[in-house]
Amino acid sequence: MARWLFREFRDYPATMTICALWIFIYVAMLLTQYTQGPPPTFRAWVLGTRGGDQFGDMTLQYLAQGQVWRTLTSTFVHYGLVHLAMNLFGMYQLGSLIEEWYGPWQTLALYVLIGTGGNALSALARYETGSHPAVHSGGGSTVLIGFVALCAVVGWRARTRIGDFLRGQMVAILIYTALLGLVLPLFNYLVRVPSIDNWGHACGAIVGGIFGFAHRWLERHAKSAFARWAGGAAVVLLLTATIAQGHEARVQRARERVAQRQQTLRSLSVVEALYRQDFRVAMLSRAPVRRGIRFAAEIGTSTAPTPGNEAPRNTRIVPKQERGVIPTALFYLESTRRELANGPTKDDFERVRGVLNQALTEPPSDATLKDFTTHFKPLALRALRTFNEANKDYIALAPPRNRVRPLPKK
């Protein structure tokens, strides 16, 4: 296996490097999901891996924000093992053939040009047809279908038996891909599967077919200085797009941290409001009983009224209230566990949780309210401090047009 890989990298360096980058990005997407959230299910791992936006997939919304490099970086993002495996097989077959014709430098340049041009053209088509701006698109199939169309044009112009065979094979792949793109969405009603980017395939085929007409010229310049310059420019574009996407990923993670800290602050405010509401209701429920006791003491009788010695009507004991707001308060408190139930506020978090659990069975008192306030304050201060830190980091990274507005002051 190692010898085979070494030989393939030596003979087809551009093709094998692209395949290795595809695998690297997919593994990085999986690791990101395991570290930042719940691990993906087996079905998601095979058919629908998430997190492509952090690694450069494309939407009309991102392009409208000026993130044009995603037309290139999206060709390295794959949404599942099946998606990746199919594209790896096609890239190995077609990439090695094209690299034999044009050399590694021009192959790399063609990858960048077909990927960028095909995705840019497909974005324009999706915009004109009213596609939803938040639909994500990614994968190397835009380039692969471009390579297929390129080979079909080359075979058609060759006017030989081998050329006719190559043209027939490539046209069959184009027809099969088009039919698959039309039929597969019908199964979304039965089994949820990722959709195929038909516009990406069609526009990649258009751009690749155009380069097919330059086959003889590209073949003659396979080892020329032009090929090296074109390949070098492609490498520079790839590095520039990688740096831009890396910065955007940092901005996106900072924005998500700000949103999480905002949600923590909102959850804590809900917890405090609900508990204080429960305390006020408990005090109102207890007030008539106190007035009845005072009335009984004034007339020198027990709290039980006797005929002709009744307490005022407002001494009626209010039925025990439903403790409905406390479970909601506990729910919102649990949503902050990841941020607050550790480090210096671990004990405070558990104590506040204990006070809320106690309120499920008995009404709050002045003592429990004081206990709640004492231990709730460190949680609120820590949440506010972490929010300010996250917001400061985000402001340092994000351009002004992409900054979110701060929470309004109360």
Read off the pLDDT of residues 90-104 as tens digits, 9 standing for 90 and up. Answer: 999 999 999 999 999
Confidence of residue 259 (pLDDT cuts 50, 70, 90): very high
Query: Greater confidence, 238 or 196?
Result: 238
**Apex 139 CA angle, 138 and 141, nearest 5:** 130
Structure tokens at 86: 């199919």
Report residue 62 as tokens.
């991102």
CA dihedral 56, 189, 87, 165 (to 10 degrees): -140
Q: How confident is the model at residue 279 (pLDDT cuts 50, 70, 90)?
A: confident
Q: What is the pLDDT of residue 18?
A: 96
Neighbouring-strand partners of residue 309: 306
Residue 75 buriedness (CB in 10 A; 0-12 / 13-18 / 19+): buried
In the predicted model, is pLDDT for residue 139 greater than 80?
A: yes
**pLDDT band at 353; cut points 50, 70, 90:** very high
> Distance between CA 337 and CA 341 in Å, rounded?
5
pLDDT over 90 at 280, yes or no: no
What's the rounded Cα separation, in Å, for the pair 385 and 134? 33
* pLDDT score of 385 more than 60: yes
pLDDT tens digits, one per residue of 282-327: 777 665 544 444 434 444 444 444 444 444 443 333 334 445 788 9
Provide the pLDDT confidence category of residue 47 given band limits of 50, 70 and 90: low
Residue at 134: amino acid letter: A
Determine the average pLDDT of the residues in 377-386.
Answer: 93
Poorest-confidence range of 23-37, 81-95, 197-211?
23-37
| Helix (H), strand (E), coil (C) string for the chain | CHHHHHHHHHHCHHHHHHHHHHHHHHHHHHHHHHHHCCCCCHHHHHHCCCCHHHHCCECHHHHHCCCCCHHHHHHHCCCCHHHHHHHHHHHHHHHHHHHHHHHHHHHHHHHHHHHHHHHHHHHHHHHHCCCCCCCCECCCHHHHHHHHHHHHHHHHHHCCHHHHHHHHHHHHHHHHHHHHHHHHHHHHHCCCCCCCCHHHHHHHHHHHHHHHCCHHHHHHCCCCHHHHHHHHHHHHHHHHHHHHHHHHHHHHHHHHHHHHHHHHHHHHHHHHHHHHHHHHHHHHHHHHHHHHHHHHHHHCCCCCCECCECCCHHHCCCCCCCCCHHHHHHHHHHCCHHHHCCHHHHHHHHHHHHHHHHHCCCCCCHHHHHHHHHHHHHHHHHHHHHHHHHHHHHHHHCCHHHCCCCCCCC
| All residues at 6 or more sequence positions from 87 whose CB lies less than 8 Å from its CB, including other chains | 22, 78, 139, 140, 141, 144
254 close to 128: Cβ distance less than 8 angstroms: no
Identify the pLDDT of residue 361: 85
How confident is the prediction for the chain on average, in pLDDT? Answer: 84
Tell me how many degrees the CA angle 82-86-87 measures, rounded to the nearest 5: 115
Name the more confident of 286 and 369: 369
**CB of 167 closer than 8 Å to CB of 155:** yes
What pLDDT is recorded for position 38? 67
CB neighbourhood size of 59 (10 A): 23
The residue type found at 122 is S
pLDDT band at residue 397 using 50, 70 and 90 as cut-offs:
confident
The model's pLDDT over 217-241, given as tens digits with 9 standing for 90+, comes to 999 999 999 999 999 999 999 999 9
Backbone dihedral region for residue 197 (phi beyond 0: left; psi -120 to 50: alpha; all else: beta): beta
